[in-house]
Amino acid sequence: MTIRIGTRGSVLALAQARVVAGALEAAGATVEILAMRTEGDRRLGARLADVGGKGLFVREIEEALIDRRVDVAVHSLKDLPAELPDGLMLAAFPTRDDPADVLVTREGGGLDGLRAGATVGTSSLRRRALLLAARSDLVVEPLRGNVDTRLGKLAAGECDAIVLAAAGLRRLGLAPAHVHALSVETFVPAVGQGIIAVEVRAGDAAVRRVVERLDDADTRACASAERSYLRRLGASCNTPMAAHAILDRTGERPSLRMMALVASEDGRRILRADAAGAPADAADVGRGLAELLLERGAEAITALDPSRWSR
């Protein structure tokens, strides 16, 4: 069977699509990759929070999936809004890559080693809030473009440091000279960070059967918890928020641990909470953690319209 994969055309997105293509080929499928330019790619100069949020990176690809121009869509899970279009589903989450953020500096040294008033580039409101919470003296500037573009701007001296996803660097085979991992406990990752999502038409049983072979149960449980949290908050990249789930198999029974936060964009107010439960109850763990943060005043910290917090 031939499976057509739809993906963004960035170098990183294509690398992720090739990971999925290789797994599908190993399962016996013939694969074609169709690269697409999304609205998010066309508006690289704009701040995402001002032009529609993370859905800008997936809309055209999902439309192609609905229209049957492609059979499978491959995304970074953190790019996907909480709700999917009718008729689509996430059929597989391959094993999660490193979920952490990393600080890449031009002259060496980690976050504490940056000079007073250093400029750090990031396009993420979450990263901005956490950087300012850790170092209120930093100047955090918007920085968009693909990973190579961002590294080039760092090398050219446009900023002193940038924050990137560890998974993106690894998938691209990049190893900058000065990379410093940021603790996931402090710099809680974005929902779905490090996870590739494989989306299909719910009614396409033949494609689903092949794609579901790529699914990793542990990664699915973590993704379910994190997206349930996102769905309950109704949040997007318009809100500095984060959630990260970890499946712990060291005890007698597996346990899903989850940490989460919501923050003001200036980093002055951050609410953190954590929870745990059985992997089978992953969605309930995520939803409960969102409820806990709401009870502690999350609505007052963020700039969301209060109507979006309704059940």
* 3 state SS for 221-246: HHHHHHHHHHHHHCCCCCCCEEEEEE
Q: In what order do the strands lie in the sheet with 2-8?
A: 30-36, 2-8, 72-76, 196-201, 88-92
* Average pLDDT value for residue range 282-291: 97
Q: Is the same domain home to 246 and 203? A: no
- Please enumerate in sequence order all residues whose Cβ is within 8 A of that of 78, keeping only pairs 6 or more positions apart, or say none: 54, 190, 191, 192, 193, 195
Asked whether residue 71 carries a pLDDT value surpassing 70, the answer given is yes
Query: Rounded to an integer, what distance in angstroms lies between the CA atom of residue 29 and that of residue 21?
Result: 9
Helices 147-155, 11-26: crossing angle, 10 deg rounding: 140
Regarding whether 77 and 44 lie in a shared domain, the answer is yes
Given this model, what pLDDT does residue 239 score? Answer: 79
pLDDT band at 302 (very low <50, low <70, confident <90, very high): low
| CATH number for 254 | 3.30.160.40
Do 295 and 162 share a structural domain? no
Rounded to whole angstroms, the Cα distance separating 135 from 133 reads 6
What pLDDT digit, counting tens, does each position of 98-109 carry? 999 999 999 888
229 and 204 in a single domain? The answer is: no
Q: Does one domain contain both 90 and 6?
A: yes
Confidence bin at 305 (pLDDT 50/70/90): very low
Residue with tokens 């809004």: 81
Q: Of the candidates 247, 242, 218, 217, which has an alpha carbon nearest to the alpha carbon of residue 230?
A: 242
C-alpha separations of 49 from 15, 105, 238 in Å: 26, 26, 5
Residue 181 CB contacts under 8 Å (≥ 6 apart), including other chains: 100, 101, 102, 166
CA distance 69 to 116: 52
Q: Is residue 189 part of a domain?
A: no
Distance, CA of 8 to CA of 17 (rounded, Å) = 9
Is 98 among the residues known to form the active site? no
**Domain stops at, among 181, 207, 240:** 181
What pLDDT, on the 0 to 100 scale, is given for residue 39?
65
C-alpha–C-alpha distance, residues 299 and 140, integer Å: 24
CA dihedral 243, 284, 290, 240 (to 10 degrees): 30
- Residue 16 and residue 163 in one domain: no
> What total of structural domains would you count in the chain?
3
> Coil, strand or helix: which one is 128?
helix
* Whether residue 115 sits in one domain with residue 77: no
Residue 164 has pLDDT above 90, yes or no: yes
**Residue 122: domain span:** 101-181
Is 264 part of any domain? yes
**Least confident interval from 139-143, 151-155, 233-237:** 233-237
Asked whether residue 35 falls in the same domain as residue 60, the answer is yes
Q: Hey, which residues does 75 pair with through a beta bridge?
A: 197
The domain that holds 34 is classified in CATH as 3.40.190.10
Tokens of 146: 């693909």
Helix (H) or strand (E) holding 181, with range, is strand 179-181
Q: Please tell me whether the overall predicted TM-score, pTM, comes out greater than 0.75 for this model.
A: yes
Render pLDDT for 178-203 as a digit per residue (tens, 0 to 9): 999 999 999 999 999 999 999 999 99
Instruction: Choose the catalytic residue: 71, 79, 97, 204.
Output: 79
Position 54 confidence tier, pLDDT thresholds 50, 70, 90: low
Residue 188 lies in a domain: no
